[in-house]
């Protein structure tokens, strides 16, 4: 609180300035004024909260000064100090807005207490005024929100009240109508939305556009006049104001505006069309602003991907190449943004068809190898994510498919190794491909293809080679008969065994044994 002492006697000015510890009582003491005229010249510049003044001074009296100060600055507290203990002075002082009347013979602590009482009265009035302003602003915002969100046309009385309360809705020579915009405000670095940032942004738009603002549905709703016919368009004025506010507050923004109206009762129509336009945010993110008239006639893109597009996607997923996936996603989304008929709903449907295609491919791959583990949940990908952040949503889901496919393929390699071990342990049995595939939980056809790719031999060739290798070991290491050895590796027909053995080694079983024993 700033306090000014006014007295034409230097000893009084100096005494009041030094005897009382004004700083300890919460005051900033301004330089004393030697006359009412000096005080009246300085008060507009220094704006003291409290003036402590004498009544009888050379020139204008303290009461005359108080009258002028209160007329120009009603909030200023005036405390009078006088050497004349007369009731008439007190009466006149109160009529001129003086809040307290003391004698110069009052003790310093009494004078300080009077100043403290004056400061408390001033704080109390300011708090009440601020609270009243907040309540009026809250009511004003509430009424505006009711008009914007109204599902039915408002009553004529409500329209009349709106015209009086919100001059921006009044059509005339300087205002060809009004419109509404919805604005998202976010930090440039983190993209986060902050209520304080919205408040500051709205305040700037109110100043720049003479607009009304209110939070609606998590966005800043802005109601502004269209300006005079032939002047700058609503879009131009809005874009300019948004750019200035964004630069001043160092934040990002996106805005969508509706169709203009001239009837205050149709303000909700402006809001609804602005809301419909705001759904195009992703498609117009690079431009920063979109109007309902720009998009109202769009027909939409096709809702389902083609077989060729599905084939390309599948090949990328099989390759497990993240760079290829990033490039494909960027190209696909860029194409959608450029399409003049793209709508939020059709884009979501098209992207969802790509997601379903990828999911079906992974299901088929898992079924082919008999994989029974958990696959990425299709339901975790929300339509709203595809609408708001499609690149992030698609990449996240397709990368999950890639990771799962890599896990399944890795599991398939292990399955082939397990199959080989199983074959070696059961060479004396009749081993069918179906039996071994069942053991490793794989589809027989897929197992056959995978087995050849991993081992370099088809299933029959591998089993035959393993049996003959086992026979070679038994012939060299045991005295068992050839017929017994043939039986122990699954050959009941001795002639067939001898034929296979000679083809594989170039020798008959007996020749091979004889050569190994030399």
Contacts of 383 (CB under 8 A, 6+ apart): 348, 352
- Torsional sign, CA 471, 473, 474, 479: positive
Domain 413-517 top-level CATH class: mainly alpha
Place of tokens 């100090």: 81
- Least Cα distance to 398 among 330, 308, 304, 303 occurs for 330
| Distance between start and end Cα atoms, the chain | 118
What are the residue ranges of CATH 1.10.10.60 in the chain?
A: 413-517
pLDDT at site 8: 92
What are the residue ranges of CATH 3.40.50.2300 in the chain?
A: 2-125
Domain 172-295 has CATH 3.30.9.10: no
What are the residue ranges of CATH 3.30.70.270 in the chain?
A: 172-295
Vertex 423: Cα angle to 422 and 424 (nearest 5): 95
- Least Cα distance to 288 among 318, 251, 249 occurs for 251
Joined together, the tokens standing for residue 60 give 């204008």
Q: How far is CA 223 from CA 1, 195, 233, 236, in A?
A: 39, 19, 14, 15
Question: 175 φ, ψ to 5°?
Answer: -150, 105
Would you tell me how many other CB atoms lie within 10 Å of the CB of residue 434? 11
Q: Is the full-model pTM beyond 0.85?
A: no
pLDDT at site 447: 82
Length of the chain: 518
Contacts of 301 (CB under 8 A, 6+ apart): 336, 339, 341, 342, 343, 346, 347, 350
How many Å apart are CA 501 and CA 266, to the nearest integer? Answer: 95
Q: How far is CA 472 from CA 249, 497, 498, 516, in A?
A: 85, 12, 12, 10
pLDDT at site 131: 74
pLDDT (tens, 9 = 90+) of the chain, 518 residues, equals 999 999 999 999 999 999 999 999 999 999 999 999 999 999 999 999 999 998 888 999 888 898 899 889 988 999 988 776 655 666 666 666 788 888 878 899 999 999 999 999 999 888 877 776 666 676 777 888 888 888 888 888 888 888 888 888 887 777 788 999 999 999 877 778 888 899 999 999 999 998 899 998 899 999 998 888 666 788 999 999 999 999 999 999 999 999 999 888 899 999 999 999 999 999 999 899 999 999 999 999 999 999 899 999 988 988 888 999 999 999 999 999 999 999 999 999 999 999 999 999 888 878 766 677 788 887 777 777 888 899 999 999 999 999 888 887 776 677 787 788 788 888 888 888 998 888 877 788 888 888 888 888 899 999 999 899 889 988 888 888 999 999 888 888 899 999 999 999 899 998 888 887 65
Joined together, the tokens standing for residue 153 give 């046309």
Three-state DSSP at 397 gives: helix
How many Å apart are CA 365 and CA 358, to the nearest integer? Answer: 11
pLDDT at site 95: 65
Question: Which CATH superfamily hosts domain 2-125?
Answer: Response regulator (3.40.50.2300)
Place of tokens 């016919």: 229
Place of tokens 């199983």: 422
Hey, which bits of 424-497 come out as E strands?
none
């Amino acid at each position: 609180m700033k306090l000014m002492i006014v007295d034409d006697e230097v000893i009084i000015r100096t005494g009041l300035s030094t005897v009382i510890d004004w700083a300890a009582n919460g005051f900033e003491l301004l330089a004393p004024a030697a006359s009412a005229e000096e005080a009246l010249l300085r008060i507009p510049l220094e704006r003291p909260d409290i003036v402590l003044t004498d009544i009888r001074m050379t020139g204008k009296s303290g009461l005359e000064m108080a009258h002028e100060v209160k007329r120009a600055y009603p909030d200023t507290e005036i405390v009078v100090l006088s050497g004349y203990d007369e009731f008439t002075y007190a009466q006149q002082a109160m009529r001129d807005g003086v809040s307290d009347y003391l004698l110069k013979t009052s003790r310093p602590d009494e004078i300080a207490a009077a100043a403290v009482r004056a400061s408390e009265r001033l704080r109390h009035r300011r708090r009440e005024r601020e609270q009243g302003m907040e309540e009026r602003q809250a009511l004003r915002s509430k009424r505006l929100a009711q008009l914007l969100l109204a599902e039915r046309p408002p009553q004529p009385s409500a329209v009349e009240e709106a015209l009086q309360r919100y001059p921006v809705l009044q059509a005339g020579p300087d205002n060809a109508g009004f419109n509404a915009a919805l604005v998202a405000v976010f930090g440039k670095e983190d993209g986060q939305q902050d209520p304080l940032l919205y408040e500051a942004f709205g305040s700037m738009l109110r100043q720049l556009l003479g607009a009304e603002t209110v939070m609606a549905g998590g966005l800043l709703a802005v109601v502004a006049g269209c300006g005079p016919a032939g002047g700058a368009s609503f879009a131009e004025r809005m874009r300019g104001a948004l750019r200035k506010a964004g630069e001043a507050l160092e934040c990002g923004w996106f805005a969508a505006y509706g169709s203009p109206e001239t009837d205050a009762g149709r303000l909700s129509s402006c809001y609804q069309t602005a809301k419909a336009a705001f759904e195009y945010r992703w498609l117009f993110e690079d431009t920063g602003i979109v109007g309902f008239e720009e998009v109202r006639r769009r027909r939409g893109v096709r809702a389902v991907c083609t077989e060729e597009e599905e084939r390309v996607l599948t090949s990328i997923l099989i390759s497990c190449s993240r760079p290829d996936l990033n490039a494909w996603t960027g190209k696909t989304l860029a194409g959608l943004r450029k399409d003049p008929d793209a709508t939020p709903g059709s884009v979501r449907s098209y992207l969802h068809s790509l997601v379903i295609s990828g999911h079906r491919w992974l299901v088929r791959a898992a079924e082919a190898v008999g994989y029974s583990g958990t696959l990425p949940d299709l339901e975790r990908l929300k339509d709203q994510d595809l609408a708001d952040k499609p690149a992030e949503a698609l990449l996240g889901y397709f990368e999950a498919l890639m990771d799962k496919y890599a896990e399944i393929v890795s599991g398939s390699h292990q399955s082939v190794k397990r199959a080989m071990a199983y074959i070696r342990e059961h060479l004396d049995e009749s081993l069918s491909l179906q039996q071994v595939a069942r053991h490793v939980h794989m589809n027989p056809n897929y197992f056959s293809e995978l087995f050849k790719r991993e081992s370099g031999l088809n299933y029959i060739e591998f089993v035959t080679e393993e049996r003959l290798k086992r026979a070679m070991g038994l012939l060299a290491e045991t005295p068992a008969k050839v017929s017994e050895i043939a039986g122990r590796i699954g050959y009941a027909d001795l002639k067939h065994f001898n034929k296979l053995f000679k083809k594989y080694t170039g020798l008959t079983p007996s020749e091979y044994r004889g050569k190994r024993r030399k």
